[in-house]
Amino acid sequence: MKNLAVFASGSGTNFEALAQACADGRLDARIVLMVCDKPGAKVIERAERFGVESFVFSPKSYPSKADFEGEIVQMLRDRQVDLVCLAGYMRIVGSTLLSAFAGRIVNIHPSLLPSFKGAHAVEDAVAYGVKVYGITIHYVDETLDGGKIIAQRAFPYDGNDPDEVHRIGQKIEHELYVETVQKLLNN
């Protein structure tokens, strides 16, 4: 069985989708660590509920990104993590983590990349008048929402309510992340 780490900064619905799939046996893996850079984020409660160990930290309390990433790399190695899944981790991954886990860090993003990168992808797409939305899962590199695309799923939407796009998109995210992680673990 493969070991996953999930990184999140917010609500953690994607964390929960992955954790539930591990519990159900739809995903042949276990989450051995949840990493969160926002003390108080809802994802921390979700991790507790699933009995997943959390590492919660405040980036500001470290001298540099290399310092907190160095600590994280050590924890990932100690727990023999095979794949790191970013799930709403709103922070650019630095070279310390990238070089230690090269080709083994993936991210989910709520747009059809390379369109609409960043933290407000859905709001930006709605403002642009987009008619076909989507979700992307990609390898992580040192750029914001960059890196080679692994999977995408599109859906039509002809309205102007970002909340509705988020609702439709999140349902797709939860399915696509589980399917894609299982495929990556098979290879």
Catalytic residues: 109
Smallest distance, ligand GAR to C-beta of residue 148, A: 16
The residue from 109, 125, 140, 181 that contacts ligand GAR (CB under 6 A) is 109
Q: Is 6 in the site for ligand GAR (CB under 6 A)?
A: no
Give, as ranges, the residues between 61 and 80 that touch ligand GAR (CB under 6 A).
none
Q: Any alpha helices (H) in the chain, and if so which ranges?
A: 13-24, 42-49, 65-78, 95-100, 121-128, 162-186
Note whether 154 and 161 are within 8 A (CB): no
Closest CA to 184 of 119, 140, 141, 135: 140
Note whether 32 and 54 are within 8 A (CB): no
Q: Is 8 in the site for ligand GAR (CB under 6 A)?
A: yes
Residue closer to ligand GAR (CB basis): 42 or 70: 42
Report the interface residues with ligand GAR, using CB under 6 A. Answer: 8, 10-14, 87-88, 108-110, 119, 121, 145, 170, 173
